[in-house]
Amino acid sequence: MTEDASTHWCGEPTGTWREVWGVPAFEAYQCIGSTNDRAKELAGEPGNLFAVVIAEEQTGGRGRRGSTWHSPRGTGLWMSVVLPNPQAALHIPLLVGLAAAEAIQDAQPDLRVGIEWPNDLVIRNRKLGGVLCEGVAGAVVAGLGINLRTPPNGFPDSLKLRATSLEEMGAKALSLSQLAGMILRSLRARLGDPVPHLSPEAYAEIRARDALAARLVLTEEHGQGVARGIEPDGALLLEREDGSRVRVVAGSVRPV
């Protein structure tokens, strides 16, 4: 069931958060199918760049290529933001991931947050969160799912060996509003102006957080090989068994 937008979030009227964050619109839901779907509707209305949608729970949360994103009530930050669209560039999910990783690490300096191409946030090779970017109406809607707490009954069997949460990794208490605000500031800094390519500074930061570098991976596009880093345009470089190298620009990638 999808509920109407709430008038309050984290103890304050939603209008207060809209003013504090300086965004054109902010909607908060107890339960919604997908924050990205609602943000795409907002993206179709003029003047809504950096509009924000947040939910306590998603019943239809999804990842890339239609995968399901487990987003139960009270365990994470399920957030979508309308961003400028520089020609739906390949590097946008990486920049969104970098912005989120930087925000989390600013709040939790003892945790090193890595990026698994193209859209996963990881700590110690365990998946902490993910990014889903969808182009619509001249904008990009960036959905972020970040596990703050482990569900009371644990993660589903299909995820429990792979998923983690900030709580499980020993993070100090962090409020939803604090994390959301830090991520939004980081997104503004990284994506406030549409850019057709990665800046040298952003490229260096992404490479430094590359959690797949030199690891054996299985790609949907080109099969198995060793990840040899991320290209300046955001593609993943894959070295196959015969020594040849190919660019991975689409499909899933997972460590072997």
CATH number of the domain at 237, please: 2.30.30.100
Residues 96 and 221 both lie in one domain: no
Residues 147 and 226 both lie in one domain: no
Kindly tell me if the per-residue pLDDT of 88 is higher than 60: no
* Residue-number span of the structural domain to which 71 is assigned: 8-208
Question: In this structure, what CATH number is given to the domain that contains residue 28?
Answer: 3.30.930.10
Residues 131 and 240 both lie in one domain: no
Does residue 1 lie in a domain region?
no
Does residue 240 lie in a domain region?
yes
Does residue 3 lie in a domain region?
no
Residues 107 and 162 both lie in one domain: yes
Closest listed residue to residue 217, CA positions, set 244, 243, 236: 236
Kindly tell me if the per-residue pLDDT of 173 is higher than 70: yes
198-227 burial, b if ≥16 CB within 10 A, otherwise e? beeebbebbeebbbbbeeebebeebeebbb
Give pLDDT, residue 1: 42
| Residues 3/34, Cβ–Cβ less than 8 Å | no
Model confidence, pTM: 0.92
Strands 26-29 and 216-219: what pairing?
A: unpaired
Residues 30 and 144 both lie in one domain: yes
The per-residue pLDDT for range 101-113, each reduced to its tens digit, is 999 999 999 999 9
Q: Side by side, which strands form the sheet with 253-255?
A: 245-248, 236-239, 223-230, 216-219, 253-255
Residues 163 and 239 both lie in one domain: no
Residues 145 and 27 both lie in one domain: yes
The number of angstroms, rounded, from the C-alpha of 61 to the middle of its chain's C-alpha atoms is 13
Torsion of CA 23, 27, 28, 33, to 10 degrees: -130
Torsion of CA 181, 187, 192, 195, to 10 degrees: 180
Residues 35 and 124 both lie in one domain: yes
The per-residue pLDDT for range 140-162, each reduced to its tens digit, is 999 999 999 988 888 888 888 89
CA–CA distance, 77 with 56 (Å, rounded to integer): 7
Residues 27 and 148 both lie in one domain: yes
Which range, of 108-112, 119-123, 172-176, 250-254, averages the lowest pLDDT? 172-176
Residues 180 and 84 both lie in one domain: yes
Domain count for the chain: 2
Residues 145 and 250 both lie in one domain: no
Instruction: Name the β-bridge partners of 81.
Output: 52, 142
The Cα-based distances of 158 to 33, 57, 155, 161 in angstroms read: 21, 19, 8, 8
The per-residue pLDDT for range 38-64, each reduced to its tens digit, is 999 999 999 999 999 999 999 876 655
Residues 111 and 16 both lie in one domain: yes
Structure tokens at 244: 């040849």
